[in-house]
Amino acid sequence: MSADSVTIASLGAKGDGVAHGSDGPVFVPFALPGETVAIARVKNEGTIMSFASTSPDRVAPPCKHFGPHGVGGICGGCSLQHLAKAPYNAFKRQIVIDALKSKGLDVPVAEIFEAHPHQRRRLVFTARRREHGLVMGFMQAETHHVVPVEECPIASDGLISRLDAIKIIANACGAEHFRVTVTETPTGLDISLDGLRGGLGDQARRAVTNAVIKLKSIARVSANGEIVIEPHKPLLDFGGARVVLPPGGFTQATHEAEEHMAGLAIAHIGKAKKVADLFSGIGTFALRIARVASVFAVESDEKAVKSLDFAARNTQGLKPISVERRDLFRRPLMTSEFKAFDAVVFDPPRAGAEAQCVELAKSKVKKIVAISCNPLTLARDLAILTAGGYRIDTVTPIDQFLWSPHVEAVATLTKG
C-alpha cells in the first residue's frame, strides 16, 4: 500500500473517480471530477484519506448508511449519493451515449427519465446470523460484511416502514446465511427467502407461519421458491390486468419507470395489429400492449408463463394473447416466424438478445422496441439490427436504479 495525492479527471463506468497516473488510471470510489484527494493506494485502486479540494457538485448524502462526509464505505447499496442531481443525470445519460458510440452508433439520446427517492418497490437483503442475533441489510462494498439497514431513501415508504416485520419473518426461518427479496405489491409485501440450505424444516415453517399471522400487510412468504404461507395473492397491475407475481419473480424496480417504458413502447408500435413480445416475463409489456393489439408473448420461465397466461385469460377488454414457453437464447424465433408480426418488443436479461437480433435483423417487421438494463449489450444488439436495415429513431435512458451506476434504456427502431 502506498500514499498518493491525485486529481480526479472523470467518473468511470462504476461511478468511481478516475485519476490518470504515470502508470495508468487510478480508480477512487466516491471521488468527483476536479477534486484533489490524498489516497491510500493498492495497485490501481485508491481509498480517500483526505481532501485538498472538493467539487462544487459534491452534496451531502441523504442516507446515514452511505458513509461519513459522503465518501461511502458503509452501505454498499449506493455509490453516487454524493453527486448533485444535474451532473448525476448527465453521467447516467453519458453511459448510454458511450455504449452506443462503442459500436459506431452516433444517434441522438433523449434526456434521462429520472428516478426519485422512495420509488423502489423491490429490495434484496442479505441476512446472516451472528452471536447477538440476525443481521439483515446490504453488503458493504468489496467486503463480506453485512450493514444493518435502518433507513433507505431509495425504497418505497410501504416497504421500508415494514423493515421490522420483514426481519421478524427472516429471523423465524432459523437459517444462518440467506437472501431476503421483498417486493411491495398493492395487496401486501411478497417476501422470498432464498439460499436456505436444506429448505425449511417443519419447526421453521411453523415459526414463519405464526409470525406472518401476527403481522399485517404480508401477502406471501416463500422459501427457495416454495410458498410457505399466502394470506393474499401478491398482485401487480399492468394496465388494468392483475398479475400474480411468482415466488421470487422478476418485476421492474419502480412502477414509474415501468409505466414510462410501456408508454414509449406503445407509442412507437402505433397502429400495429400483431405484436411479438419477446422475453416477456409475467407480461409487463404484453398485457398493456394487448389493449391495442394482439400479442404473441414468449418467455422461458415456466412460472412467469403461467402467471401471464392466467392474467390474459382473466382480464376483460384485451386483444388475443397467445403465450409460448421458449428459451430464446438457445432457440430464437427464426426470420420466417416474424412474417405474422407488424412490431416486436424485446426486453432480455443483461446478456442481451444477440442470437434473436441476428434473426430479427433479417425480417421485414416494421417497428421494433428494444429495452435493456445493460447499455453495452443493447448497443451490440442495435448494431446488429441497423446492419440489417433498421433505423434507430429514439434512445431514451431510464433511471430506475437511483444513485447506482446502472441505467436502463429504451430504443425504438423502424425498418428502412
Question: In this predicted model, what pLDDT tens digit does every residue of 253-301 receive, in sequence order?
Answer: 999 999 999 999 999 999 999 999 999 999 999 999 999 999 999 999 9
Measured between alpha carbons, how far is residue 372 from residues 30, 82, 206, 291, 392 in Å? 26, 26, 41, 23, 15
Where is pLDDT greater, at 301 or 70? 301
Q: Which helix (H) or strand (E) holds 267?
A: helix 255-269
The yes-or-no verdict on residue 67 having pLDDT over 80 is no
**Residue 301, number of CB atoms within 10 A of its CB:** 18
DSSP state letter for 303: H
On the CB side of 189, CA atoms within 13 Å amount to 29
Residue 71 banded pLDDT, cuts 50, 70, 90: confident
- Looking at residues 94-122, what average pLDDT do you find? 97
Amino acid at 343: A
Annotated binding site: 252, 279, 299, 347
The yes-or-no verdict on residue 95 having pLDDT over 90 is yes
CATH 2.60.40.1180 fits 122-235, yes or no: no
What was the pLDDT predicted at 32? 96
The yes-or-no verdict on residue 401 having pLDDT over 70 is yes
Three-state DSSP state, 80: coil
CB 344 within 8 A of CB 276: yes
Question: In angstroms, rounded to a whole number, what is the distance separating the alpha carbons of residues 407 and 216?
Answer: 34
Question: In angstroms, rounded to a whole number, what is the distance separating the alpha carbons of residues 280 and 296?
Answer: 9
Measured between alpha carbons, how far is residue 104 from residues 217, 220, 309 in Å? 50, 47, 40
Looking at the chain, the domain(s) classified CATH 2.40.50.140 span 2-58
Question: In this predicted model, what pLDDT tens digit does every residue of 222-253 receive, in sequence order?
Answer: 999 999 999 999 999 999 999 999 998 999 99
Amino acid at 229: I
Looking at the chain, the domain(s) classified CATH 3.40.50.150 span 90-116+251-415
What was the pLDDT predicted at 306? 97
CB 234 within 8 A of CB 205: no
Looking at the chain, the domain(s) classified CATH 2.40.50.1070 span 122-235
What was the pLDDT predicted at 2? 67
What was the pLDDT predicted at 4? 86
- Kind of pairing, strands 188-194 and 408-415? unpaired
Percent of the chain, pLDDT > 70?
Answer: 98
What was the pLDDT predicted at 198? 86
The yes-or-no verdict on residue 43 having pLDDT over 70 is yes
Question: In angstroms, rounded to a whole number, what is the distance separating the alpha carbons of residues 22 and 109?
Answer: 34
CB 265 within 8 A of CB 283: no
DSSP state letter for 33: T
90-116+251-415 CATH, one of 3.30.70.360, 3.40.50.12280, 3.40.50.150, 1.10.10.10? 3.40.50.150
Annotated binding site for S-adenosyl-L-methionine: 252, 279, 299, 347
What was the pLDDT predicted at 73? 64
Percent of the chain, pLDDT > 90?
Answer: 87
CB 248 within 8 A of CB 325: no
Angle at CA 240, nearest 5°, toward 239 and 243? Answer: 95
Residues 6+ apart with CB under 8 A from 243: 235, 236, 237, 282, 283, 287, 307, 308, 311
For the chain, the 3-state helix, strand and coil shares in percent, each to the nearest 5, are 25, 35, 40
Residues 6+ apart with CB under 8 A from 39: 3, 4, 5, 6, 26, 28, 46, 47, 48, 49
Measured between alpha carbons, how far is residue 7 from residues 91, 125, 209, 219 in Å? 19, 35, 55, 51
Give me the residue label for grid cell 430506475.
400
Assigned CATH topology for domain 2-58: OB fold (Dihydrolipoamide Acetyltransferase, E2P) (2.40.50)
The yes-or-no verdict on residue 1 having pLDDT over 70 is no
CB 60 within 8 A of CB 361: no
How many residues are there in the chain?
416
CB 33 within 8 A of CB 9: yes
CB 113 within 8 A of CB 22: no
The yes-or-no verdict on residue 70 having pLDDT over 90 is no
What was the pLDDT predicted at 351? 96
The residues annotated as belonging to the active site are: 373
Residue 300's nearest CA partner among 319, 286, 321, 282 is: 282
Question: In angstroms, rounded to a whole number, what is the distance separating the alpha carbons of residues 282 and 68?
Answer: 41
- The three-state (H, E, C) secondary structure of 193-247, written as one string: EECCCCCCCHHHHHHHHHHHHHCCCEEEEEECCEEEECCCCCEEEECCEEEECCC
Question: In this predicted model, what pLDDT tens digit does every residue of 338-359 receive, in sequence order?
Answer: 999 999 999 999 999 999 999 9
